[in-house]
Structure formats: structure tokens, C-alpha cells
Structure 1
Amino acid sequence: MQNQFDPRTTTGGYDPAVSVGVPRAARDAGLRSYMLKVYNYMASGVALTGIIALLFAPYARDVLINASGTGMSGLGWIITLSPLAFVFAMSFGVNRMQTSTLQLLFWSFAAVMGLSMSTIFIVYTGVSIAQTFFAVTAAFLGLSLYGYTTKKDLSGFGTFLIMGLVGLLVAMLLNIFLRSSTMALAINAIGVLLFAGLTAYDTQRIKSMYAYVAGTDMMGKTAIMGALSLYLDFINMFQFLLSFMGDRR
């Protein structure tokens, strides 16, 4: 079962860091270090999710699927919806929490996502999962690099994508009742495109945020929240592409 969670987190209210008199080389080095921390968090989270999903896969059917095999069990629904609770707790509590608390929540979120995503090993072949993962990884790297290096302001594009995401969520809810295979195919295709665009947009947004938090105690928090945004872009793009092109067992 998919987990399309993507709240657009904000970090408003932070005072810009004073950079007057700071050499450009030092600012660039600080930005590279900051972005590297974001990517390390994000990659580690994806790795943790993948490892737990793979280890839990042999037990997923018994734990997450009900006795009749027609839907999720009670525990399955709890595990499936738990990541959403972690995301909202992090998004709305970022200003009050310590960095260490945010780190713990991020790793817990990634772990629970692994439990929830273990069902893909029941539905899809291992080869199909691996091919999709490497395809999304290559696409993510290219799109994130574009978002990092482009001089074009993507904020307007991001607003359009977020509006599209809201529409996509509405369509997904409608299709729960309609059960249209054609609509599901369109949802998966559009989902891939939306999260591909959001990858570039979020990368630029995270990069621009550095100017506001550099040298403050908010750097650690914004790095974690930035990693969460990129993690959600990657995971959702992976799940939509797998649903669109994956080979079922």
C-alpha cells in the first residue's frame, strides 16, 4: 500500500544570518557542508527504510494483511498511518523541539516507513523493485543537481506543483471508491511527474534557506527538515513509478 505523504514544511520566522564581511569562499564552503548534511540525512533515511522493508518482508503478509487476505489488518493500518503522524509532529513541532529530538523522530519515521513499505515485496518482483529504485535514484540525482545549480527561480513552479499535488490527493481519494484502472494509471503517471518537479523545487528551497540559518542553532533543524522533504520526494516518486511500471507477482 502506498504512502503518499508530502506536507510542504516551512521555516518562516528565522532571522537572516549576518553575512556582511564573510568571504564568498567561506559562504560557499558553508553551503556545501550544509547541503552535504541534508543529503546524508536523506540517503541514510532511504537506506534505513529499504533495509527494514527487506528484513520485514517475510512477515508482512501475516502482520499487515487481514486473515481473509482482502485488505489491511488493524495493526497494518496503524503501521501504514504512523509515518503521517511522525511527519506532522516534526513539521509543527520543529520550532519547539531540540535537534536531537528531530533526529530521533526522523530515524523513527524512516524505520516505520520501512515496515509499511515491506508490502511492495509481496506485490512486485524483486527485479522490478531494484530496476525502479535505480531509475528513480538516477532521476533524483539529476533533478536535485538541476535545482541546486539553476539560476532560475523555481518558486512559482513549486506553487503550481503543490496545487497539482492537492489535486492528485483528491483524485486518489475518489479512486478508492471508483476503482478505475485507467484513473489509477493516470494518477501514477502524474504522481511521478509531480514529485520529479518537487525534487528540483525542494532542492532550491533548501539551498536558499541556508542564508537565513547559517551560523544559528537552526541549521541542524533545517537540515533534518530539508532531508525529510527530499526523502518524501524520492519515496513518493519511487512508489508512483513502481505502481506505473512495476511487474506484479
Structure 2
Amino acid sequence: SLASIFLVFTGASIGRAFFGAAAMFAAFSLYGYTTKRDLTQFGSFLMMGLIGVVIASIINIFLGSSALQFAISIIGILVFVGLTAWDTQSIKLQYAEHHDGETRQKLAVMGALSLYLNFINIFQLLLSLTGERE
């Protein structure tokens, strides 16, 4: 599903966006893992932000506004780095609870999928914000 970006964007801009997304993802995942602050209060706020980004993206399909796309990219990146920290802390807390082996495996898979989706979204939004088109 990501193969089409190689047709649209230059290789250098894809590389910059990838490494930028990796740095942001790593920093906020590390923050979520190490912070003593309880991030659970931000979960519902971040989910509302995610819904807002999706709705704005659907509206922008019909409007085609570059200014709205710029705003969606900025807000989307902020939402997904926040979700990365929140998900990391949530996974850490869930994994610390005493579960049997099968439940732990399921939690690990769901956590990895959640973090993967966060990274992919950060990458795509960063690429749409800073990428150079061919």
C-alpha cells in the first residue's frame, strides 16, 4: 500500500520523512515508556483529535484545499506522536499486569500493531507535509 509513494515523491524526500518519523516515534515512545506522568487522561482527547483529523481529511477530498491539507498534516502529526506516547505507556502498564501466556501474546501483537499504525501515519503525514514531488 505504500509502494505508490515511490511514484509520487523523490527518494531523498522519502528518506528524510522516514528518518524524521523514526526519530519522532522513538522520542515519544521513549517518553511514554519512561515518564512517571499518567497519560491515560490524554487518551480520549487524542481519540477525538484522531476523529477530527479523519473528518477533516474526508472534507478536504472534496475541497482540495492546500491550506487545510497543511493544517491536517500538522495536527495529525501531533495527534499521532501523542498516541505513540499514550500507547507505549498503555502497553507497558497492561504487560505489567499478571496475565497468562496466551493473553500476553495477544497484548503484544495488538500493541505492536497499534504502534506500527502510529509510525506509518506519522511517516505519511510528514511526507505529505515536507515531501518533494517528482
User: TM-score, with normalisation over the residues of structure 1?
Assistant: 0.52
Q: Which amino acid in 1 is paired with 2:28?
A: L
Residue 11 (structure 2) aligns with: 126
Once the two structures are TM-superposed, the CA of residue 211 in structure 1 deviates from its matched residue by 3.0
> By percentage of residues, which structure has more helix?
2
Which consecutive unaligned segments of at least 5 residues does structure 1 have?
1-115
Once the two structures are TM-superposed, the CA of residue 212 in structure 1 deviates from its matched residue by 3.2
- State which of 236, 240, 246 in structure 1 corresponds to 2:121: 236
Once the two structures are TM-superposed, the CA of residue 140 in structure 1 deviates from its matched residue by 0.9
Once the two structures are TM-superposed, the CA of residue 192 in structure 1 deviates from its matched residue by 0.8
Residue 148 (structure 1) aligns with: 33
Counterpart-to-counterpart distance in 2, 1:234 and 1:208 = 21
Question: Residue 226 and residue 213 in structure 1: after superposition, are their counterparts in 2 closer, same or farther (change >3 A)?
Answer: farther
- What is the 5 A alignment of 1:183-194? 183-194=68-79
Structure 1: 4+ residue segments shifted above 4 A: none
Residue 171 (structure 1) aligns with: 56
Cα deviation, 1:17-72, whole Å, max 9, x if unaligned, reads: xxxxxxxxxxxxxxxxxxxxxxxxxxxxxxxxxxxxxxxxxxxxxxxxxxxxxxxx
- What is the 5 A alignment of 1:108-123? 116-123=1-8
- What is the 5 A alignment of 1:8-87? none
Counterpart-to-counterpart distance in 2, 1:158 and 1:166 = 12
Specify the structure having the higher radius of gyration (Cα): 1
Residue 206 (structure 1) aligns with: 91
- Tell whether 2:45 aligns with 1:160: yes
Query: SS at the partner of 1:171?
Result: helix
Residue 84 (structure 1) aligns with: none
Once the two structures are TM-superposed, the CA of residue 193 in structure 1 deviates from its matched residue by 0.8
Query: SS at the partner of 2:36?
Result: coil
- State which of 81, 104, 112 in structure 2 corresponds to 1:219: 104
Query: SS at the partner of 1:217?
Result: helix
User: TM-score, with normalisation over the residues of structure 2?
Assistant: 0.96
Counterpart-to-counterpart distance in 1, 2:110 and 2:38 = 21
| RCO higher in structure (CA 8 A, sep ≥6) | 2
Counterpart-to-counterpart distance in 1, 2:81 and 2:5 = 21
Counterpart-to-counterpart distance in 1, 2:98 and 2:11 = 42
Query: SS at the partner of 2:19?
Result: helix
Counterpart-to-counterpart distance in 1, 2:12 and 2:35 = 34
Q: Tell me how large the CA RMSD over aligned residues is.
A: 1.0
Counterpart-to-counterpart distance in 1, 2:85 and 2:36 = 12
Residue 38 (structure 1) aligns with: none
Query: SS at the partner of 1:247?
Result: coil
Counterpart-to-counterpart distance in 1, 2:6 and 2:101 = 43
Counterpart-to-counterpart distance in 2, 1:117 and 1:227 = 19
Cα deviation, 1:111-132, whole Å, max 9, x if unaligned, reads: xxxxx11000011000000111
Once the two structures are TM-superposed, the CA of residue 139 in structure 1 deviates from its matched residue by 1.2
Counterpart-to-counterpart distance in 2, 1:141 and 1:211 = 21
Q: Which amino acid in 1 is paired with 2:46?
A: L
Q: Which amino acid in 2 is paired with 1:202?
A: D
Once the two structures are TM-superposed, the CA of residue 157 in structure 1 deviates from its matched residue by 1.2
